[in-house]
Structure 1
Amino acid sequence: MKTLIATTLAASLVAAPMAFASGTIDDAKRALQIGTDYGIAHFHSIELEDDHGDDGSMEIEGWLDEQWYVELDVNGDGSIRKEERHKRTDGPWGLSSAEAAEYIDASANQGMSRIEEIKINAKGEIEVEGDNADGQELEIDYRAGSMEPTKVDRDDRS
């Protein structure tokens, strides 16, 4: 029993910093630029790591063309640490770089100052997670094509 408790506690301590990982609005836009420069035409998700103690790394996923889906792990300096490509037949969908930037800006207008993740699903539902300047966690949902949030959740971390 003690082993189970110790293992659970250790796992939660390791995962805890990852739960609060985020980057600035500029970091999110930099991730878009890195993905675009790499050739991503349709973004599925961008996940930013905390720049306090981490190296500011990020994960970027999206479509390169009609057949190739890519997952990139990017170092804080913009170099690619790991790349995985998958040939897929379901065709490209997602957000263009310009569209993703618009949702980042719309989220900043809702008070978000740090972004943890932006993602879109096949139904056109966009979710932007992050924090406001006071450290309050925000989750803002949109429908593709609209900058008006469909839902804004504010959670207090304290």
Structure 2
Amino acid sequence: MSDDEFLQAMDEHLDLVYNLARRLARSRTQAEDLVQETYLRALRGWRRRPPDDVRAWLATICLNTARAGWRHESVRPVEVLDPDAGMTLTSRSDTAGEAMQGLVRDQVHRALWQLPPPQREAITLMDLCGFTAAEVAAMTDTPRGTILARVHRGHKKLAELLQRQGVTSE
């Protein structure tokens, strides 16, 4: 298969890969780097043998690339982020509402990073990327029941963390 076929097959999954990367990386810059590395690895794999399920294949590559990055970071100093650096307003119609959504989104992102990595991964793949428990189990080589338990425990912990931060579901 050609590189043009690769680009065509990958194009429809860019949002999925970016959204996944954004939850697996601590900053937008790291997420963008993760997306780029995911697509580079995908291209190499595509040239060897194109996958049957491109969506799950890309998510697995992104997840494994992020995990490799975490292992690499564990021996490096932690980057201190400016909490206000990531907030952008996308509309002038309701700036207060947009600002509140940005703050809540940032609080959820920070709370997700307080979860153990297996719980964060399971929640991200199922809730944010829309994969089923069976698909996540296959991607992570983990039993389906374990994935469901991680999501359940992660949801409880996430709700607790957000409640402590004053974020409500209303």
TM-score for the superposition, normalised by structure 1: 0.30
Determine which structure has the larger strand proportion and give its number: 1
Determine which structure has the larger helix proportion and give its number: 2
TM-score for the superposition, normalised by structure 2: 0.28
